[in-house]
Structure 1
């Protein structure tokens, strides 16, 4: 569980229990059969919205095809009952299994797509299943009436019993969503949603986490569809695989707020009663008024609260809350590491990383051209060069963001070129980026915790490692501050802390001092000096020459993708070729006079 998850779960669980009890009390006094059905549909569509949110809300890939899982669940229960005489009490769990299995089969090819291509591909699956159901003759599957044993066959004369069962299904779905959101699972998904590259660079297997989320989402949708079949008693392609089904899953989540378990609950509680009531009162006058309600809801929410009602209200509340904690007064920028930290051994002269013949091209442009160098364990190698020289591209090829065309890079004798980004991270390579990649809606501690989770540390050890990394970078006073409100220096240190939380052997820092003032640079440099004192091996790209002279044990100069010079910092900066690359031949001529 994430830090503070247990009391938060207990508090939210009590709120949910109170809401559900109040809902059941209201349903107990409703006698109109249509409105009783409506009260049963609200929890069902809330469960479908929760299933959509577990995937699209947390991962960030929009699905227009959740009707596929919902419809498969409905047909599973209906066909098992009609063909095998199997009770829905067994059919609904099997529907969840079928939904999860379908999600696996759908996800394998579809995860190769991104953005709107993924969304459009998901839209095709329920359409395909609808045509297949019609082709197989399942245009209308009626559940056989078994009123003699209502409990066994889930066929009750009192519609309020269905409402109680629907609320129970909703409670289970909410419990699953609460556990997911407050666990390693949810934090990993939210990190992927906010910045996929940073999440993978922190060690998360992005494709695997997406697949797990889709399978859980498909299972929840399948269970909801299975119960829906028991309520309708007649299953048709339009009712369970139609466009309106996928739209409802998406709309209730978007309206209430994506990325939180409260969102689909809020959306379903408002939109379903509104649309069903208007359908009852005006359905004959305005056919399809439900679609009008959902369309209007999406337009309004996009204009007035783009992230949904929950986030709009929460953000407004947060702005009125206590001001951001002020930083600790002029204390040393670096706080000593906690005693529990496991520092690396001091410099020993041993080569940690050896790069030979690394090359990367983009069409006819050779961004990195036959680059070779080595890094001694416990030292800091500074990489300098003009803009566009290929420095960041070299980092990207080293840690798996981009595939190298050729060359090798061995860390402690183990090849890292050709491995995936998260695999290289788990080998002990931490990385920061030229433009800070944070998870702005998460607090600083969770941002750093992602790095510990990415390294595969168990929950308690991961929290310890994250807090140690925060202490080492001097950010303890901002542990609970949202990353979206941090200053440039704090964001740079936070990203460094995230890399440290994975307990790496090698740090790749890409322009960590970019955009900082002199005092801020000094503070970050003090942190880097402290890490070197602990024995951390670091490669840093930087344009600030005076900072590189203060911090680097050795400089590597790259120009037009090739190594121009390498050696002691003072010797390198006085090299005529380096001066010409940075300042041009006219400046070199002046310097020679």
Structure 2
């Protein structure tokens, strides 16, 4: 139904200029036709930018680098080699992808405004290069699009030059539809889920096996290729290209603003933002002419301020959920009321015996400058085992978890994991540990708040499948296991603390790990939730998943653990079965003080 509505909307948008222009421009001045070509061009560029800036959350203000590359590729190959612009567009897109990877590799290491500033710097460098190599680019004087071979005019689809101006509308609309289709495909694919996860919480994304740098590079490359194709057509349409126009910072900002006004991270938002702003600004510029030079910039600013103040999520992001509730029958969800007990164990299901070592950490040391967070810590986890890690606050337990999952590199020592085929590997990154079968939760729960419960769990499921259908099926099965079936369509931000912790466990379980690291999943829960968490962990253990659990709820640790290690001040001070640990004077002293240890003795 949604696809049919989207296709119907696109068909209406395509028919609109052919129906409207003859009515409002009977003399055929070409003014409104130019406005619609501009709308389609900027909408296509905004959709392409949204893949990087909206889905991945990377605020690039140098997007016209690729627009200019496409424009110059089409014009230069035409002028110097007589090649048709369609071929120039393909070459330009390939060059744009290469340049995007070259730019993104160092820039993606930056965060916040520094990334945006670095893209502006690259834009200025490439603009100056276009000016410098004037033998090829025409320098600051620009480059006209060749329209004649001898005395014969290059007219027709091969050269993208037409006497019938409606053909420009068809090509511009086709580019917008292509950008929209690619945007939709990306958003509904595993890559799209990964991009949104990286945008929301990069550490949590890495924990479910996402190569954050790789997916951001992919978004950069796709966005660059689409933008370059648009630049090739628009350069031919304008009949003249120059560095100031093709590598324009104001144009790059406008494209980002259209996506922001329409709704960052939404598929159709960039188109709605462009449809709102461009006609108003272009009409003001055309009607007022030189008497109000720059007024279109004021229009952009006023619309942006109005949308940010009244609809901070943009047009689609703010109006879309209201329309779903109003006409789609989607009701508000009471997350506390819809959380259910975990699914019971199957009749006759028995716990598997403790087997061979599965994960080994040897002599782990982690130093932060002069601070030693862990010192010579060694642990072994066996198949089918629950290994408890306890110790007072600040003992170094979470640092140990970060070493066991690749979020921190050890200063010395190492971690190795046994794969299903018996081979041992020593991963050195979060996605490497995830590939080896290690999943984890976080001490401070990290759900992807902008996604639904189903989509959160699907992110874990995508670790083992590329199919969205299969990932959805796995998500629904895991949700039933942890008692979240009634909340699959709720946003993760609406969950209670207990619900959010269950969701994080579910996301990890959807990865189908062999080792599960649980970092204080019972912290802040009421006694009933603690009991349900204990039953859930037992069910996970009985399914064949080995567990390492950091926990302060001592009764739960003692009930669950087969083996316990105790850490204090970064050192392992005791290990053994729960019955021994409970009576160990060193453990009592670490928790309660020396006088209590003497009293217990």
- Report the TM-score, using the length of structure 2 for normalisation: 0.92
**Aligned partners of 2:350, 2:222: CA distance in 1, in Å?**
40
Identify which of 495, 514, 524 aligns with 1:515.
Answer: 524
1:112 equivalent in structure 2: 109
CA contact (8 A) 1:255 1:267 kept: yes
> 1:8 and 1:472 mapped to 2: Cα distance?
31
Q: Following TM superposition, by how much is the alpha carbon of 1:586 offset from its aligned partner in structure 2, in angstroms?
A: 4.2
84-93 or 9-18: which moved more? 9-18
**What 5-or-longer segments of structure 2 have no aligned partner?**
none
CA deviations 1:565-593 (Å, max 9, x no partner) are 1112132122221111112234445556x
SS in 2 for 1:152: coil
Is contact 1:72–1:225 with CA below 8 Å preserved after alignment?
yes
Q: Distance in 2 between matches of 1:572 and 1:496?
A: 27
Query: Do structure 1's residue 350 and structure 2's residue 347 form an aligned pair?
Result: no
Cα gap change, 1:60 to 1:347, in 2 (>3 Å): same
1:280 paired to 2:274: no
Aligned match of 1:436 in 440, 445, 468?
445
384-393 or 583-592: bigger deviation: 583-592
| SS of equivalent residue, structure 1 residue 55 | helix
Q: Does residue 39 of structure 1 match 2:36?
A: yes
Distance in 1 between the 2:347 and 2:273 partners?
Answer: 46
- For 2:390, which of 384, 387, 393 is the aligned residue? 384
Tell me, yes or no, if the aligned pair for 2:387 and 2:561 is still in contact at 8 Å: yes
2:69: which partner in 1?
72
Instruction: Tell me the secondary structure at the aligned position of residue 153 of structure 1.
Output: coil
Inter-partner Cα distance in structure 1 for 2:538 and 2:101: 48
1:390-410 deviation digits (Å, cap 9, x = unpaired) = 000100011101111111222
Q: Counterpart in 2 of 1:393?
A: 399
Correspondent of 2:311 among 305, 308, 312: 305
Shift of 1:301: 2.9
Matching residue within 271, 287, 301 for 2:277: 271
Q: Distance in 2 between matches of 1:396 and 1:337?
A: 34
Aligned counterpart, 1:22? 16
Distance 1:286 1:280 in 2: 10
- State the match for 1:289 in structure 2: 295
Are the counterparts in 1 of residues 69 and 96 from structure 2 also a CA contact under 8 Å? yes
Unaligned runs of 5+ residues in structure 1 are: 1-6
- Of 528, 548, 558, which aligns to 2:567? 558
C-alpha separation in 2, matches of 1:275 and 1:330: 50
Counterparts in 2 of 1:24 and 1:502: CA distance versus 1, 3 Å: farther
- Rounded to whole Å, the distance in 1 between the matches of 2:155 and 2:51 is 36
Compared CA separation, residues 27 and 193, structure 1 to 2 (3 A): farther
Worse-superposed segment, 196-205 or 292-301: 292-301
Shifted more, 87-96 versus 399-408: the winner is: 87-96
Q: In the TM superposition, what whole-angstrom CA distance separates every residue of 1:83-119 from its partner, at most 9, and x where no partner exists?
A: 1111223222332222222212222222232222211
Counterparts in 2 of 1:23 and 1:346: CA distance versus 1, 3 Å: farther
CA–CA separation in structure 1 for the residues paired with 2:175 and 2:71:
15
Alignment partners' CA distance in 2, 1:247 and 1:330: 44
Are the structure 2 counterparts of residues 319 and 387 from structure 1 closer, same or farther at C-alpha, using a change threshold of 3 Å? farther
Aligned with 2:196: secondary structure? helix
Deviation readout 1:529-584 (Å, 9 max, x if unpaired): 11122222100001111111221122211100001111121321222211111122
Q: What secondary structure is seen at the aligned counterpart in 2 of 1:149?
A: coil
Aligned length, in residue pairs: 583
Which of residues 227, 230, 243 in structure 1 aligns to 2:233? 227
1:57 matched to 2:50: no
Instruction: Give the superposition deviation at 1:267.
Output: 1.0
Counterparts in 2 of 1:473-488, with a 5 A limit? Answer: 473-488=482-497
The 1:150–1:352 alpha-carbon spacing in structure 2 relative to 1, beyond 3 Å, is: closer
Matches within 5 A, 1:176-255: 176-255=182-261
The answer to which of 258-267 and 293-302 deviates more is: 293-302
Shift of 1:187: 1.2
Aligned position for 1:141? 143
Give the distance between the partners of 1:375 and 1:450, measured in 2 at CA: 26
Over 3 Å counting, the alpha-carbon distance change for 1:207 and 1:590 in structure 2 is same
Pick aligned residue for 2:121 from 120, 124, 148: 124
Cα RMSD for the two superposed structures: 2.4
Q: Relative to structure 2, which stretch is displaced further, 151-160 or 418-427?
A: 151-160
Pair 1:571 & 2:583 matched: no
How far apart are the structure 2 equivalents of 1:78 and 1:207? 33
